[in-house]
Amino acid sequence: MDMKTFYLLLFTLIAQLPCYAQLSAEQQIDSLKRELGKNLTKAQKAKVYGDLSWYYNSVSLDSAFRYGNEALEMAREIHDRKLIAQSLSDLGAIYFIKGEIDKSLDLYNRSLDIRKIEQDEEGIASLNFKIGAAYFKKSELKKAMSHYLEALRYYEQIKSENIVANLHSNIAVVYTSLHNYSKALSYLKMAETYFQQHSLYAPLANVTLSMGNVYYALLDTAKAQDSYQRTIDIAKKGQNFLAEASAYNNLGQIHTDLEQHKLAVDYIQKSLEIRTREKLESDVASSNITLAINYAKLRNFTKSKSLLLSSLNHFQQTGSGEKITSIYYQLIAVYAGLGEVDSVFHYMNLYKQNQTAELDNKVIEVSSELETKYQTEKKEQQIEILHRETAIQKLRLRQRGLLLLAAMVVLASGGILVFFVFKQRRLKAEARLQQEINIQQEKATRDVLDAEERERRRIASDLHDGVGQTLSAALLNLNYLHKSIAEGKTPDPQAMDNALGLVKDSYQEMRSISHQMMPNALLKAGLATSIKEFLDAIDGKNIKVNLSVSGLADRLDQQLETVLYRAVQEAVNNVVKHAQATRLTIQLMKDEEGISVTIEDNGKGFDPSSVDYTEGIGLKNIRSRVGLLQGSVEVDTAPGRGTVIVIFIPI
């Protein structure tokens, strides 16, 4: 389930029309159409068109677009800037519901520019609310929260409790995406209290839906199901079709996770009925992917293929790369189930290309070269530092020598004696200094070579024991199939399935080796994303992992990102292998002084004075990597009370 699903609370953003406030959407539309029959000015007619566009967005998006464009055209004709801004805002809301977020943002920002010129504070606040929702849809959480808080300040000033409650609901959704679930629940409960007291069922459905998402993220499936079921009942009362469809879809996802595939299909089909009726094309395509997964599990591969290809066509048109990659992955399994080997390899290639990752020997060689280059550069930096320190030390010694020489001219024979004594000491000091430099150079070189050799041995072992053995088994099956075909026999389906499965295993093994060496996400998306992908691969049944990130909106230096990623990877692997922990918390925080990483578990801990701790390769590697960047590593642990590792690197 996409825990970043957002449920926009549009109905509180526009000032209510006094003469229609107590009417249903259909009654409001009928009343407005009767107004059009009267002798209205162009300004009045443009306003009615805008109101019709607004009320139609919950009835018919096509009609909403038509009246919205008519309102905009007439407002421009009479040069009414306020009506132009309102029309642009209304059209942006319609595109938001349709799922075309970039178009929605463009219209919202054009409207915002006009309202800032007009100094329309209420209009600016309304747009900040909507723009925050749009940025949330794009997963730009910092921008979303910024616009929400701007809107909240205004509505709290004018004491608009209804809109404040809606903003609390939306801010809670942002906190959910940031994994701050306690904050999210506190905001949701404030919103829930207000909507219940005023029997506002449409926004209340959005709140209970968001609560379900929080409980689902906390792995409390029972509470999540209860919240989603409440959402369905409340949404029907408030005619909140978006929330109702999302609740059905999320229930379907829960049953998918529980491998109750027939129940999952029933819920997802109910969601699809609503989303299709409301012409929510992107949501329909997303639901179809989940439905296809369940059909595949029920071995209805033909139906699964049809749904996946339909969704693929939609997301190729809208340019959603993440969804396309997911569909390619599902199609590999579906075509394997159908026995269409050519199609399996076709989508395997597409999946590989979409991941922008080369998984052949060239990538392994290039990655090894990059790692070697990195270690060599760090070694050269250390040597350069030592050379500079040596030059400074020699300069100081030379200055002392000159002073003693001058004293020797004045003090005659006594000075000569002092000169020889000092010279002897200086030679010894230089010898000791040179010896220390040699030791440090040798140690730095040995550490780098040892690290390189361990990495080569690990890669060689992984390739030989994993990929090599699996490919050998696949080759045996393929030779058997080739022989059968050459003899005119019908190929053995079991042998084909075995060969295909072995090739797929080899592919996954190669991808895993490549990712361990230099994660693709670290090269493309940065430290936070790569760490999240690494943590997502951990078995959540045995250990619950929480990741908190603050201040990492911009990319860091590549060397710094690599060092921190390797340090986190080493520490987490130690926890998984040795700590016997059930909870692992990782915090990344960047401020003006530097970046800190805290890794905390509730495992069995260890004695920090033990030989295993002082000589262990894992922590030694972490200290070595961090030390190269003038950073520090602190470890707080004791037997029976878990372990905390704090890494700090100045920037």
pLDDT, tens digit, for every residue of 61-104? 888 888 889 888 988 988 989 899 988 998 998 888 888 899 99
Domains of the chain plus CATH, in order, are 1-159 (1.25.40.10), 160-239 (1.25.40.10), 257-355 (1.25.40.10), 361-516 (no CATH), 520-650 (3.30.565.10)
Residue located via tokens 């723009």:
131
- C-alpha to C-alpha distances, 116 to 112, 135, 175, nearest whole angstrom: 6, 20, 29
Supply 318's token pair: 């809208």
Say how far apart CA 349 and CA 499 lie, in whole Å.
Answer: 17
Single-letter code of the amino acid located at 615: E
Say how far apart CA 445 and CA 442 lie, in whole Å.
Answer: 5
Provide the pLDDT for residue 54. 81
Residue range 437-461: average pLDDT? 60
Provide the pLDDT for residue 367. 39
Specify the higher pLDDT residue, 619 or 92: 92
Concatenating the DSSP letter of every residue in 9-77 gives: -GGGSSPPPGGGTTS-HHHHHHHHHHHHTS---HHHHHHHHHHHHHHHTTT-HHHHHHHHHHHHHHHHH
Q: What are the two backbone dihedrals, phi and then psi, of residue 59, each rounded to the nearest 5 degrees?
A: -120, -50
Would you tell me how many other CB atoms lie within 10 Å of the CB of residue 101? 19
Supply 357's token pair: 């990752």
Band of the pLDDT at 438, cuts 50, 70, 90?
low
Say how far apart CA 169 and CA 211 lie, in whole Å.
Answer: 10
Provide the pLDDT for residue 456. 65
pLDDT, tens digit, for every residue of 329-373? 889 988 888 888 888 888 888 888 876 543 333 333 433 444 444
Percent pLDDT > 90 in the chain is: 30
Provide the pLDDT for residue 167. 92
Where do the DSSP E strands lie in 101-185? none
Say how far apart CA 218 and CA 179 lie, in whole Å.
Answer: 9
Single-letter code of the amino acid located at 334: V
Strands 544-550 and 643-650: unpaired
pLDDT, tens digit, for every residue of 204-250? 999 999 999 999 999 999 999 999 999 999 999 988 988 999 999 99
Provide the pLDDT for residue 128. 94
**Does residue 496 contact residue 539 with C-beta atoms inside 8 Å?**
no
Provide the pLDDT for residue 250. 94
- C-alpha to C-alpha distances, 82 to 111, 174, 569, 592, nearest whole angstrom: 9, 31, 55, 43
Percent pLDDT > 70 in the chain is: 79
Provide the pLDDT for residue 68. 87
Query: Does the structure show a pLDDT above 70 at 497?
Result: yes
Specify the pTM. Answer: 0.45
Residue 585 CB partners (closer than 8 Å, separation 6+)? 545, 546, 548, 598, 599, 600, 601
Q: Please write down the HEC assignment for all residues of 342-384.
A: HHHHHHHHHHHHHCCCCCCHHHHHHHHHHHHHHHHHHHHHHHH
Specify the higher pLDDT residue, 578 or 367: 578
Provide the pLDDT for residue 360. 39
Single-letter code of the amino acid located at 176: T
DSSP 8-state secondary structure symbol assigned to residue 491: P
Which of 20-29, 352-361, 596-605 is the least confident region? 352-361
